[in-house]
């Protein structure tokens, strides 16, 4: 199963780099559509080269790859923080979450969320209420007045998630958001993320280099090769034998890595 | 629970877990709340005792200094008119307070110091933001500002007197030349130390140029800015004293520097020591009453200061 998902054919838009307006035809148009995306920081040494990827609206896709293969770069390109050197990038508006919560330390948790609302133009009168709702969605009802340093790592990430959700973007890009957390907390956050994904209907592109995490969360797992980064394989988790899938993916990942030893 | 409820457009269904394989914990919210409680400590409630325990060491040190001073005076290595004891200085302080010169000098200098400092803040803050954020300004004027900070502001007194005569303008000019570079450098240092990640977050959240400065960069740079303000005040106060000692007469009022200079002219060591102690006292008082609490509050709010009580 290495092909792109069915039903994502679009016509005549390859080559544009602007985010398409949401279309009326229900959901056949991907939320994120990458064609031949390349990125090089140093000329002649492409980090990404020829990345093709479609993500359907509402889908949760895990992007897996070795360290340094360009996962973060790809997310930044989709988020518009970096420009692709070549190829076309179409994405609905996207919010981005980092490995560190990166909360503003001078603001309380509630104010961090409110700032996102404010920069989006939400009127002052609605912000506080809306921020409470979002914090409540990530089960941090009592934490609005706490500052980042008073929260545990998992709680900080949940505030960061609430802040990202506050942006009301269709697409949520997550760059190893749970990598720095302990295993117990991470397990819980997997459940949380899944619940929130289901309640909000967002399209999620989740970067990780943890195979089990990818299989646990993703409807689809996409493997990115290293130097240059390119989509080499993907698995539709529901179709596979759940017990054997992590081992299978790990084998591919190792193979991909050891290619560079030669 | 079927194993394939995972079509991309499946309606939200909070009850099922992904792929229907992962056992759903019976009470996710409960587990999570427990974990949150375990991983956060309630803030320790202590205040008054900490303030007390911070107070006594410097008081003790001052007492020791007084005792040593008195001991030296008693040992008689210097005649009393050359090295007056705490007693004589205390008398000089009371008599200066009684005839009003002390209050006049104190209020004149404080007023100028505070006004000059506020003016320096008003000028230095926007200047600092521009130097920190605009590349070409920084490249061209940055080194000059740093150089000015190293230049002792006494050096500006003669120039001030030539340009502005013996007037308050000279005093304020010297204060500004002393304090503005410190404040500018404080902001620049603060802005440089803003973690790039926070700027990226600002960018991701959609902050434009202005919002980036007001909502992200400046708040993040606040600790550096405060350090710059503190140094700016110190330079203001020093510059003011330098100016007041050198520039006496004209329309320049009677400040602490003039008070000190008067002691010298009268060869009255008690007066000289009184003036020095007053200048020192103002410096310590402003630090303890204004900057230290401000800095503590800012750092504590950001969790940047260890909660050490003693
Ligand atoms: N701004 C940049 N300038 C130059 N090179 C860069 C830049 N950003 C990333 N790179 C290079 O691009 C490559 C991919 O980096 P990237 O951070 O995207 O990898 P990653 O897959 O996210 O790795 P990790 O798993 O460690 O997070 C690395 O070799 C990195 O050195
Ligand atoms: Mg990365």
Q: How far is the CA of A207 from the centre of ligand 2 (A)?
A: 8
Contact A74, A63 (CB under 8 A): yes
pLDDT class of B127 with cuts at 50, 70, 90:
very high
Question: Where do the CATH 3.40.50.300 domains begin and end in chain A?
Answer: 1-6+27-93+169-262
Say if the Cβ atoms of A167 and B10 lie within 8 Å: no
**Global ipTM:** 0.78
Q: What is the pLDDT of residues B162-208, one digit of tens each?
A: 998 888 888 899 999 999 999 999 999 999 888 999 999 998 898 88
Give the pLDDT score at A206: 93
Contact (CB, 8 A) for B166 and B249 = yes
Mean of pLDDT values over A243-260? 78
Confidence tier at A5 by pLDDT (50, 70, 90): very low
A206: left (phi over 0), alpha (psi -120 to 50) or beta: beta
Q: What is chain B's mean pLDDT, rounded?
A: 83
> And the tokens for B115?
């006004």
Portion 151-210 of A in contact with B at CB < 8 A: 151-155, 163, 167, 184-185, 188, 191-192, 194-195, 198-201
Higher pLDDT, B29 or A71: A71
Ligand approaching nearest to the C-alpha of A67: 1
Q: Is ligand 1 within 6 A of the CB of residue A229? A: no
pLDDT digits (tens, 9 = 90+) for B239-251: 899 888 888 776 7
Across chain A, how many H-helices and E-strands are there?
7, 9
pLDDT surpassing 80 at residue B51: no
Interval A9-44: pLDDT, tens: 333 333 344 444 444 445 568 888 888 888 888 888
**H or E element in which residue A229 lies:** none
Q: What is the pLDDT of residue B52?
A: 76
Cis peptide before A228 (omega within 30 of 0): yes
Q: Which helix (H) or strand (E) holds A65?
A: strand A60-65
Rounded to a whole number of angstroms, the CA Rg of chain A reads 19
pLDDT at A137 over 60: yes
CA of residue A83 to ligand 1 center, whole Å: 14
Amino acid A16: pLDDT:
40
* Contact residues, chain B, for A104 at CB < 8 Å: 198, 201, 216, 219-220
Q: How confident is the model at residue B68 (pLDDT cuts 50, 70, 90)?
A: very high
What count of residues does chain B have?
310
pLDDT band at A254 (very low <50, low <70, confident <90, very high): confident
Q: Is A104 on the interface with B (CB under 8 A)?
A: yes
Q: Which tens digits make up the pLDDT trace of A174-200?
A: 999 888 888 888 888 888 888 888 888
Q: Bridge-partner residues for A64, per DSSP?
A: A208, A223
Mean pLDDT score, B26-36? 75
Q: Taking residues B118-136, report their average pLDDT.
A: 91
Size of interface A-B (CB pairs under 8 A): 123
Token pair 């099922």 in the structure block, residue: B16
Looking at the complex, report in whole angstroms how far the Cα of residue A88 sits from the nearest Cα belonging to chain B. Answer: 20
Cβ-defined contact of A152 to B17 (cutoff 8 Å): no
Task: Give phi and psi for B17, each to the nearest 5.
Answer: -100, 165
More confident residue, B45 or A146: A146
* Packed helices B256-265 and B218-246: angle between N→C axes, nearest 10 degrees: 30
∠ CA(B72), CA(B91), CA(B59), 5° rounding? 60
A47 within ligand 1 shell (Cβ under 6 A): yes
Query: Has residue A207 got a pLDDT over 90?
Result: yes
Share of chain A above pLDDT 70, in %: 88
Which structural domains are found in chain B, ordered by start?
108-250 (1.10.3720.10)
The pTM assigned to this predicted structure is: 0.75
Q: In A, which residues are within 8 Å of B207 by CB distance? A: 119
pLDDT (average), residues B84-109: 89
CA pair distance A103, A109, nearest whole angstrom = 8
| Nearest residue (CA) to ligand 1, atom 2 | A41
Q: What is the CATH topology of the domain spanning A1-6+27-93+169-262?
A: Rossmann fold (3.40.50)
Write out residues 5-34 of A within 8 Å (CB-CB) of B. Answer: 5, 26-27
Judge whether residue A204 has pLDDT over 70. yes
Between A45-49, A57-61, B109-113, B306-310, the lowest mean confidence (pLDDT) is in: B306-310
Q: Is A247 in the pocket of ligand 1 (CB under 6 A)?
A: no
The predicted-structure confidence for A77-131, as pLDDT tens digits, reads as follows 998 888 888 888 888 888 899 888 899 999 999 999 999 999 888 888 888 888 8
Could you give the CA distance from residue A232 to residue A255 in angstroms, rounded to a whole number?
12
Sign of the torsion angle spanned by Cα atoms B129, B134, B137, B142: positive
Phi, psi at residue A96, to the nearest 5°? Answer: -130, 135
The closest of A192, A105, B194, A189 to A115, measured between CA atoms, is: A105
- For residue B305, pLDDT over 50 is answered with yes
Rounded average pLDDT over B208-234:
89
Residue B307 confidence (pLDDT): 52
Return the SS3 of A94.
strand
Instruction: Return the residue of B nearest to A96 by Cα.
Output: B204
């Amino acid at each position: 199963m290495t092909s792109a998902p069915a039903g994502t054919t679009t016509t005549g838009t390859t080559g544009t780099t602007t985010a398409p307006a949401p279309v009326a035809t229900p959901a056949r148009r991907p939320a994120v559509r990458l064609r031949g995306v390349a990125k090089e920081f140093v000329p002649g040494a492409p980090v990404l080269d020829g990345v093709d990827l479609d993500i359907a609206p509402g889908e949760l896709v895990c992007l897996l790859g070795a360290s340094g293969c360009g996962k973060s770069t790809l997310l930044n390109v989709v988020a518009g923080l970096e420009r692709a050197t070549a190829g076309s990038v179409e994405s609905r508006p996207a919010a981005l979450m980092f490995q560190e919560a990166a909360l503003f330390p001078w603001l309380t948790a509630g104010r961090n969320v409110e700032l996102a609302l404010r920069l989006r133009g939400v009127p002052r009168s609605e912000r506080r209420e809306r921020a409470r709702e979002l914090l409540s969605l990530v089960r941090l009802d009592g934490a609005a007045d706490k500052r980042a340093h008073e929260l545990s790592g998992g709680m900080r990430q949940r505030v960061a998630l609430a802040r990202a959700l506050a942006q009301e973007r269709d697409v949520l890009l997550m760059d190893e958001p749970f990598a720095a957390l302990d295993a117990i907390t991470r397990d819980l956050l997997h459940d949380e993320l899944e619940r929130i994904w289901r309640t909000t209907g967002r399209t999620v592109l989740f970067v990780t280099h943890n195979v089990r995490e990818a299989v646990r969360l993703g409807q689809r797992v996409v493997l990115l090769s290293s130097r240059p980064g390119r989509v080499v394989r993907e698995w539709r988790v529901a179709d596979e034998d759940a017990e054997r899938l992590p081992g299978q993916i790990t084998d591919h990942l190792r193979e991909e890595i050891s290619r560079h030893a030669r | 629970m079927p194993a394939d409820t995972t079509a991309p457009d499946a309606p939200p269904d909070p009850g099922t877990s992904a792929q229907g394989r992962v056992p759903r914990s019976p009470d996710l919210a409960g587990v999570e709340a427990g974990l949150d409680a375990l991983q956060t400590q309630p803030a320790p409630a202590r205040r008054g005792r900490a303030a007390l325990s911070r107070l006594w060491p410097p008081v003790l040190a001052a007492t020791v200094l007084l005792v040593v001073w008195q001991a030296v005076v008693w040992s008689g290595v210097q005649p009393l008119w050359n090295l007056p004891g705490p007693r004589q200085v205390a008398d000089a302080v009371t008599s200066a307070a009684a005839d009003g010169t002390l209050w006049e000098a104190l209020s004149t200098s404080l007023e100028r110091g505070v006004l000059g400092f506020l003016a320096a803040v008003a000028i230095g803050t926007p200047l600092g933001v521009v130097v920190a954020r605009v590349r070409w300004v920084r490249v061209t004027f940055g080194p000059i500002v740093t150089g000015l900070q190293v230049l002792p502001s006494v050096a500006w007194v003669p120039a001030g007197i030539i340009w502005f005569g013996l007037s308050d303008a000279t005093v304020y000019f010297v204060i500004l030349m002393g304090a503005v570079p410190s404040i500018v450098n404080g902001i620049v240092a603060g802005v440089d130390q803003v973690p790039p990640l926070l700027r990226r977050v600002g960018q991701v959240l959609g902050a434009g140029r202005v919002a980036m400065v007001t909502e992200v960069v400046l708040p993040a740079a606040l600790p550096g800015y405060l350090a710059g303000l503190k140094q700016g005040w110190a330079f203001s106060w020093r510059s003011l004293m330098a100016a007041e000692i050198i520039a006496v007469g004209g329309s320049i009022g009677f400040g602490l520097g003039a008070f000190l200079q008067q002691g010298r002219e009268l060869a009255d060591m008690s007066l000289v020591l009184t003036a020095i102690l007053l200048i020192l006292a103002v410096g310590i008082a402003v630090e303890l009453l204004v900057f230290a609490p401000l800095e503590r509050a800012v750092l504590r709010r950001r969790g940047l200061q260890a909660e050490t009580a003693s």
